[in-house]
């Protein structure tokens, strides 16, 4: 892959690398908790052999901690798997609510580490469009990252999906420092290329502190999502 | 010797502190940079173990603040993040840069060596 001959592929690979690094960090954190809990059990075992009485409540808490971490890791890996499989097909029916939820989870560590949070509002009813899931995820990731640079004092980025006459919309709000200039700069980079490749449209409204991604697609009925 | 552990993973940092205390190492723990700043104002620590990546403020920035409050305090970085760039920068700044999950005996060895050295 060459950034000059295949800029879309290069953008996708950069996105995949960032997400993989974030996921591996999350898994390591979870393993560290399990490791300390198991280590503590080992310590307790040694102490019990020396006659120190067992504390069943502490043991129960350790078991609960480990089970919680296994569940956490399982969710992380499930999301990683969903991302990996989004490259299986090119254009396909994409459930916008599901995809938005996946991206909120995958972005969480990055967003929280930078002191922000994402507030997700799914569309009231299932909404789907024909799109390329991987590159749509890539675009949303870039939009989340850009949103952090223009977010207001609340440090909260709203991400809401809705149906639109020609498909679906994803609206990012709370962007108090959004200007026409920084929005155009953002679109001049990989995001603009992805918007074009996905046959989508992206609009910034500095006066409303929001930007909207419009996804065109004929299929946006609840039945279409249910039949998927 | 008194150690302060700072990591946003509460279950990790509290259990690690408990395990250190079983080994006769007095260890307090907090889950944010803000709490670390507060506790350092009230107690003296010989060494601080900092998570590099934490919400709001990471370990590298916190290290500078804690050093101003308690000059000479030693630092060991902990991270789950393994980028080469972070490793190089972290290793240059702190006594040690350890990757999670850690071996407690390794950590104790590093704590002892760091405390035996001149301030870094």
Give residue-wise pLDDT tens across range A70-94.
Answer: 999 999 999 999 999 999 988 899 9
What does the pLDDT read at residue A213?
97
Interface test with B, best of A18, A27, A39, A41 (most B CBs within 10 A): A39
d(CA B13, CA B33): 13
Hey, are the CB atoms on A112 and B55 less than 8 Å from each other?
A: yes
In this complex, the residue of A24, A36, A115 whose CB is nearest that of residue B12 is: A36
For strands A156-164 and A117-121, give the pairing: parallel
Give residue-wise pLDDT tens across range A108-121.
Answer: 999 998 999 999 99
Q: Which residue in the block uniquely carries the two structure tokens 């900092």?
A: B50
Q: What confidence tier does A175 reach under pLDDT thresholds 50, 70, 90?
A: very high
Hey, are the CB atoms on A115 and B55 less than 8 Å from each other?
A: yes
Q: What confidence tier does A135 reach under pLDDT thresholds 50, 70, 90?
A: very high
What does the pLDDT read at residue A221?
44
d(CA A156, CA A151): 7
What does the pLDDT read at residue A222?
45
Token pair recorded at residue A132: 């390329």
What are the chain A neighbours of B83 within 8 Å (beta carbons)?
A: 21
**pLDDT mean across residues, chain A:** 92
Looking at per-residue pLDDT, the higher value among B83 and B49 belongs to B49
Got the DSSP string for A79-143? HHHHHHHTTSSSSEEEEHHHHHHHHHHHHHHHHHHTT-EEEEE--SS--EEEE-HHHHHHHHHHH
Shortest distance, CA A54 to any CA of chain B (angstroms): 15
Provide the whole-model pTM: 0.87
Interface test with A, best of B19, B59, B100 (most A CBs within 10 A): B100
Cβ atoms of A163 and A145 closer than 8 Å: no
What does the pLDDT read at residue A35?
97
Question: How large is the ipTM?
Answer: 0.91
Q: What percent of chain B has pLDDT above 70?
A: 96
Q: What confidence tier does A2 reach under pLDDT thresholds 50, 70, 90?
A: low
Does the domain at B2-116 match CATH 3.40.50.2300? Answer given as: yes
The total number of residues written for chain B in this structure: 120
Tell me the residues of B at the A interface, defined by beta carbons under 8 Å apart. Answer: 9, 11-12, 15-16, 18-19, 22, 53-56, 58, 79-83, 99-102, 104
Q: Coil, helix or strand for B62?
A: helix
Q: What confidence tier does A57 reach under pLDDT thresholds 50, 70, 90?
A: very high
Hey, are the CB atoms on A113 and B54 less than 8 Å from each other?
A: yes
Say if residue B117's pLDDT is above 90. no
């Amino acid at each position: 892959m060459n950034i000059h001959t295949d800029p879309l592929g290069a953008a996708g690979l950069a996105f995949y690398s960032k997400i993989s690094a974030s996921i591996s960090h999350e898994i390591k954190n979870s393993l560290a908790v399990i490791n300390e809990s198991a280590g503590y059990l080992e310590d307790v075992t040694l102490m019990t052999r020396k006659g120190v009485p067992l504390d069943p409540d502490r043991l129960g808490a350790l078991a609960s901690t480990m089970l919680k971490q296994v569940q956490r890791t399982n969710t992380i890996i499930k999301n990683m798997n969903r991302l990996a499989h989004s490259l299986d097909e090119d254009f396909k029916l994409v459930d916008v609510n599901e995809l938005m939820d996946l991206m909120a989870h995958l972005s969480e560590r990055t967003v929280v580490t930078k002191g922000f949070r994402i507030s997700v509002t799914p569309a009231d009813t299932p909404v789907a469009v024909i799109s390329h899931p991987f590159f749509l995820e890539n675009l949303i990731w870039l939009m989340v990252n850009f949103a952090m640079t223009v977010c207001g004092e609340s440090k909260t980025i709203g991400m809401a999906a809705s149906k639109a006459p020609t498909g679906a919309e994803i609206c990012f709000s709370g962007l108090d420092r959004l200007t026409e200039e920084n929005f155009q700069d953002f679109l001049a980079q990989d995001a603009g290329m992805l918007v074009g490749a996905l046959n989508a449209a992206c609009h910034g409204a500095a006066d409303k502190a929001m930007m909207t991604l419009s996804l065109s697609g004929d299929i946006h009925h609840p039945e279409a999502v249910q039949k998927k | 010797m008194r150690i302060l552990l700072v990591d946003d993973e509460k279950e990790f940092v509290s259990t690690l502190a408990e395990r250190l205390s079983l080994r006769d190492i007095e260890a307090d723990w907090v889950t944010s940079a803000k709490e670390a700043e507060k506790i350092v104002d009230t107690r003296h620590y010989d060494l601080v173990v900092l998570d590099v990546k934490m919400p709001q403020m990471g370990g590298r920035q916190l290290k500078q603040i804690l050093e101003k409050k308690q000059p000479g305090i030693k630092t060991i970085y902990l991270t789950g993040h393994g980028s080469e760039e972070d490793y190089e920068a972290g290793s240059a700044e702190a006594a040690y840069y350890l990757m999670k999950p850690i071996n407690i005996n390794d950590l104790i060895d590093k704590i002892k060596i760091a405390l035996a050295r001149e301030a870094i």
